[in-house]
Structure 1
């Protein structure tokens, strides 16, 4: 039995994406076989496609999906066939740009009932990254106060950090954005303030950084002593020494760490996605889909990759259906 998919055989520009016919995979012990109804595109998709050669077999990308459980492995306890789910998968397994996809049940959540599959597909990767930043790295809680700076506040992760911080903490959120539409978006999501990248005040407590290159000295100036940074990028040759005088803590956040290393607390991602679904269905958090470019095929994904690659995205770009 075969299925439709989109992948690439050699790293390069969007033109390397091609439509494929692949064999349907079989679930492992804790796997869900999901009929994918929608996917979204993230910067990691663009980065991998442009720089990572897949080897002998074509590689299928995609780290966000929403769909319906088609079948389950013998040790699955959290879901049953017919359940609607949303998730971000793992970077060490084939991606979500295929009709039927395997995901470990411990990193999948119940799809928000109030959202379409396309709307739900915009959320998982950015939600997990935002949640782990706020609650695993910064260790914030419902009574946490202080000031959080969210760089690139209108991007996918920034959009979710703003919403989760407002819904689940008492922290003051300052977003950065340069364009009027980006500023409006961040304010609409709940940022207390939105300023230019060079207008940040001194004495802030926390900084979320999706672009850290060349910023460490600036961060050291504006953070209070004992402040904290969480970064999701990987600039080469990063020098953290300017942070020492203020005893500033630097965290890395990679949402794939739990599934990559099969950590004992891997099910936390299932739990946080379920909690976010509750927040969405209660109206406390909203989806971040801003573009739906149509069916999941090579042409549609090329368009979506190009939109992300241009670096001007507000929210998320989604594709729905095969």
Structure 2
């Protein structure tokens, strides 16, 4: 195909509320420069993550129009001069980089080193739900926590029915020997976390008592997307030299309560690799591993809500669903 110079995109013109008229506007924007390791992907489906909401609310006005979207599945339609991992016609899935325009666009430019092959067993929509959450869960488990197939002990997954938690439960069950404890409180989320493989599902509203009941020797690893107000509880329920891996950044966070038992606190940011390790192919490799696990029936998609087509109306409703705080699994938006 002859590559056009512009593409239809959905962008926010200025930061603000999901209800603002200029929060989701359809524009013709430049496709952008194609670097030597870049792919041009015809986007068939995207998903919406909390990072999309955070970016929409708080980007610098001078950076508008802001194209969001940090998950996609689609087909490669053009490649840069030095691309060697993919070819035109390949189906791919990826989360991209927060340092480049997002995936809410018909044609998207992305570095091949953060792209994986799309699972052949999944539709584009079902595949688009997985990249950002899979990268986050994988890096938290195997880079930050340093778990292996031989690892035992206990893992507490806070927000077990959320996007990352839904993948983390599956990966921990498939690739480690740890006992997986997930938090959930509503009937739907409790059932969801249990079906994904959590050994125990406990209520985060009664976290200390219920965690101690199922792990009286202390929890070894905690995944924390909701850290505000929980540090003292984590210190209490964790074993000596236990580890917390967090993905949020609450203001004024004080981790001093962890010192007494020599516990550690680490952060996971899945954009660290594309922003600071551009030559790394680690995310390409892990997404291919996830695709293999999906095609073998070991990991399943986490889609629980769908919108179509990829336009301003659908994306606004998808953002609204994520902002509700009541989402179980992931919300995706598919091309019509």
TM over 0.5: yes
After TM superposition, the score normalised by the length of structure 1 is 0.98
Among 166, 175, 179, which residue is 1:172 paired with?
Answer: 179
Q: Which residue of 2 aligns with 1:46?
A: 53
Aligned pair count reads 321
Q: Which residue of 2 aligns with 1:115?
A: 122
Q: Structure 1 residues 293 and 179, CA, compared in 2 at 3 Å: closer, same or farther? A: same
Shift of 1:168: 0.4
| SS class of match (1:48) | helix
Q: Which residue of 1 aligns with 2:14?
A: 10
| Cα offsets for 1:136-189 (capped at 9, x unmatched) | 000000010000000000000000100000010011000000100000000000
Shift of 1:23: 2.2
| SS class of match (1:80) | coil
Q: Which residue of 2 aligns with 1:148?
A: 155
C-alpha distance in 2 between matches for 1:54 and 1:23: 19
Shift of 1:54: 4.1
1:223 partnered with 2:234: no
C-alpha distance in 2 between matches for 1:54 and 1:170: 47
| Cα offsets for 1:108-159 (capped at 9, x unmatched) | 0000000000000000000000000000000000010000000000000000
Contact 1:127 1:157 in 2 (8 A): yes
C-alpha distance in 1 between matches for 2:234 and 2:291: 34
Among 297, 313, 317, which residue is 1:299 paired with?
Answer: 313
C-alpha distance in 2 between matches for 1:287 and 1:53: 34
C-alpha distance in 2 between matches for 1:231 and 1:24: 35
Stretch moving more, 50-59 or 115-124: 50-59
Q: Structure 1 residues 131 and 292, CA, compared in 2 at 3 Å: closer, same or farther? A: same
| SS class of match (1:200) | helix
Contact 2:112 2:284 in 1 (8 A): yes
C-alpha distance in 2 between matches for 1:287 and 1:5: 26
Q: Which residue of 1 aligns with 2:301?
A: 287
Among 251, 275, 281, which residue is 1:236 paired with?
Answer: 251
Q: Which residue of 1 aligns with 2:211?
A: 200
1:135 partnered with 2:142: yes
C-alpha distance in 2 between matches for 1:71 and 1:263: 20
Contact 1:63 1:125 in 2 (8 A): yes
| Cα offsets for 1:205-230 (capped at 9, x unmatched) | 01000010111110000000000000
The Cα RMSD (Å) is 1.0
Among 91, 95, 98, which residue is 2:102 paired with?
Answer: 95
C-alpha distance in 2 between matches for 1:51 and 1:17: 14
| SS class of match (1:212) | coil
C-alpha distance in 1 between matches for 2:60 and 2:266: 29
Q: Which residue of 1 aligns with 2:168?
A: 161
| SS class of match (2:234) | helix
| SS class of match (1:259) | helix
Contact 1:30 1:72 in 2 (8 A): yes
C-alpha distance in 1 between matches for 2:236 and 2:99: 38
1:267 partnered with 2:274: no
C-alpha distance in 2 between matches for 1:110 and 1:86: 6
C-alpha distance in 2 between matches for 1:291 and 1:185: 14
C-alpha distance in 2 between matches for 1:119 and 1:156: 13
Contact 1:25 1:100 in 2 (8 A): no
Shift of 1:262: 2.8
Q: Which residue of 2 aligns with 1:20?
A: 27
